[in-house]
Amino acid sequence: MTKNDIINLTEQVCETWETKLPTIKFLEYKYMETTLGMAFLSGKTYKKNLKLENNLIIFNDILLHYPFDKIIQVIYHELAHLITGKGDNEWEFEIFCKLNNIPLSEDWEEEEIVC
């Protein structure tokens, strides 16, 4: 998949879930060695002075090498953070994920990827 494919797929999920498409950025995997994606809420203050105007998802570039099933899981997972406004270990996020059949981080089956 390409970056545009992932952006388009995220846009399709947002349309289906009737939620606004967040800003989407990609970082090289060397900057995010153990994380495939991160979500940041607009209006929340980060690092004591950074406040985003739009919701943001940052995908790890290495995600481009994963199979479709894993990519869609990551998209769902990160959008769930934006919809609930909650972190991985907060009960509202966990319930949302369980009700919508979205794997929690610890439930993902990691696959070996060869680049």
* CATH code of the domain in which 37 resides: 3.30.2010
**H helices of the chain, where?**
3-17, 68-84, 91-99
Instruction: Kindly state whether residue 85 falls inside one of the protein's structural domains.
Output: yes
Instruction: Kindly state whether residue 113 falls inside one of the protein's structural domains.
Output: no
Instruction: Kindly state whether residue 114 falls inside one of the protein's structural domains.
Output: no
Total domains in the chain come to 1
Instruction: Kindly state whether residue 76 falls inside one of the protein's structural domains.
Output: yes
Low-confidence ranges of the chain (pLDDT < 70): 29, 31, 106-115
Q: Which residues of 66-99 are buried (b: 16+ CB within 10 A; e: fewer)?
A: beeebbbbbbbbbbbbbbbebeeeeeebbebbee
**What pTM does this model have?**
0.85
pLDDT of 107 reads: 60
d(CA 16, CA 12) in angstroms, rounded, equals 6
Instruction: Kindly state whether residue 45 falls inside one of the protein's structural domains.
Output: yes
pLDDT of 20 reads: 94
* Number of residues written out for the chain: 115
pLDDT of 115 reads: 44
Q: Which domain holds residue 75?
A: 3-107
